Amino acid sequence: MKKRLLSVLLCVTVAAALVIGCGSKSGDSEGTTKASDDGKKTYKFGFTEMSAGSFFDACYEGAAGVIEANGDTIVHVEGKADSTYQLGVIEDFIAQGCDLVFYNPSDASASAAAVKALNDAGIPIVNFDSAVSDLSKVDCFVVSDSYSCGQIAGEELVKNHPEGGKVAVLDFPASAAAADRAKGFIDTVTENGFEVVAQMDAGAKPEKGLTVMEDLIQAHSDLVAVFCINDECAQGAYSAITAAGEKIEIYSVNAGPEAKAAMTSDGVDGIWKCSAAQSPIGIGQKSAEVAYKILNGEEVEKEVQIASFAVTPENIEEYNDSDWQ
């Protein structure tokens, strides 16, 4: 599970009717489960995430690897960070006769309509990475322990700065997972002598992370560190901090190619000090494994958690910075 990584940036979709994404495949739209030439049941799966990005590409690749090895079809359409658009994607999956849908909501608070549409159609749901508003309505939730991810990053900051100091948080309130990460970090550091002087929505994207961090640098000249709820907004923060010649340290979540590449190139004296590792490939693989159990009528746990761990400049050599774990 341990690898390092190279930078991979965002993929985008062009229309709800088109199927897009790294390695994504469109299936026929004739209907539901059918038999293959050898008499084996074949399934069609829908897969939609909040927005395009290397993390979700890796989630998709993990799921697709299991599904395609089983001779089945998976349809992948990203949600464009737009809950109305993503509802249309879900409705299209229903029209195509998907047997099960993997769903990561663009906005947890606006996920009820998509979940209801799938429930009404009798289509099972494997919710992954970020929770829908009502987990009782999905068949399984596969996720990293998001609160623990924030704790891991916070513990690294406390270890590096036992004296405490002022910190900022770049969050993304639309995501329940991001909110849990921020809470885990804040709870950990505020119990250990740190003061959170700013908490701002950075949209989980590099561009907004850049502008928000630029504003924070102007407003707070004595920041010790910034916590970013994912590596994408951390990329923007990294650019802003280095351009300003500051030494504000970055603690983030994902341990994706961007974070590991920065740690590798900058070494122990660099500003990117920790990324709490998630395994999007593992999330995708486990989601697919659970999906087959559901379709086979087997009992599954309501929530399945994938373990996280700290990736730092000190242990970066243990990981492959060219890919996700």
Which CATH code for domain 44-138?
A: 3.40.50.2300
- Distance from C-alpha of 84 to C-alpha of 218, rounded to nearest angstrom: 36
What pLDDT is recorded for position 11?
32
**Tokens linked to 278:** 């998630």
Segment holding 35, helix H or strand E: strand 34-35
**Tokens linked to 8:** 């991979």
Q: How far, in Å, are 14, 163, 254 from residue 204 at the CA level?
A: 21, 29, 12
Segments of 104-206 assigned E as strands? 125-128, 140-144, 165-171, 194-201
**Tokens linked to 238:** 């990294």
**Tokens linked to 184:** 């885990």
**Tokens linked to 101:** 């849908």
What pLDDT is recorded for position 246?
98
The residue ranges of every structural domain in the chain are 44-138, 146-278+313-318
pLDDT digits (tens), the chain, 325 positions: 333 333 332 232 323 332 333 333 333 334 455 565 667 899 999 999 999 988 999 999 999 999 999 999 999 999 999 999 999 999 999 999 999 999 999 999 999 999 999 999 999 999 999 999 999 999 999 999 999 999 999 999 999 999 999 999 999 999 989 999 999 999 999 999 999 999 999 999 999 999 999 999 999 999 999 999 999 999 999 999 999 999 999 999 999 998 999 999 999 999 999 999 999 999 999 999 999 999 999 999 999 999 899 999 999 988 866 678 8
Contacts 24+ apart (CB under 8 A), 265-271: 266/313, 267/313, 268/313, 268/314, 270/313, 271/238, 271/241, 271/242, 271/247
Q: What is the pTM of this model?
A: 0.75
What pLDDT is recorded for position 35?
60
**146-278+313-318 is classed CATH 3.40.50.150:** no
Q: Do domains 44-138 and 146-278+313-318 have the same CATH topology?
A: yes
**Tokens linked to 296:** 């086979």
Q: Is 278 helix (H, G, I), strand (E, B) or coil?
A: coil
